[in-house]
Amino acid sequence: GENVEQHPSTLSVQEGDSAVIKCTYSDSASNYFPWYKQELGKRPQLIIDIRSNVGEKKDQRIAVTLNKTAKHFSLHITETQPEDSAVYFCAASNGGGADGLTFGKGTHLIIQP
């Protein structure tokens, strides 16, 4: 089955700086890659996703890049703010996301004031 590795497990950045979280996946048939944000004690919420026919997608301060050849994808957050502090999870699916997701172990992003 699919295996998703996520790095780093903890990331501390100064407010206003950029943060990058990286994930690799094992199944070359995977074609859907969402990113979820989870605040302490809350449910995961989708922040951005990308499909395998696209190399990059942006939404305001957030962007995701996908390298299918290397089987890795990354989340980029620019101009970080205190409210960006949370745990971020990457995920992958080979069913376009319909048949469930395989998640990474998460990255705890800490924004230092």
Partner 1 sequence: NAGVTQTPKFRILKIGQSMTLQCAQDMNHNYMYWYRQDPGMGLKLIYYSVGAGITDKGEVPNGYNVSRSTTEDFPLRLELAAPSQTSVYFCASSYSTSGQGYEQYFGPGTRLTVT
43 is a site residue for partner 1 (CB under 8 A):
yes
Indicate the residue among 19 and 47 with the shorter CB distance to partner 1. 47
CB of 8 within 8 A of CB of 106? no
Indicate the residue among 45 and 81 with the shorter CB distance to partner 1. 45
d(CA 82, CA 58): 20
CB of 101 within 8 A of CB of 92? yes
4 is a site residue for partner 1 (CB under 8 A):
yes
73 is a site residue for partner 1 (CB under 8 A):
no
Q: Which residues contact 15 (CB under 8 A, 6 or more apart)?
A: 80, 81, 82, 111, 112, 113
Rounded to a whole number of angstroms, the minimum distance from the CB of residue 100 to partner 1 is: 4
List contacts with partner 1 (CB under 8 A): 1, 4, 6, 32, 34, 42-46, 49, 89, 91, 93, 95-106
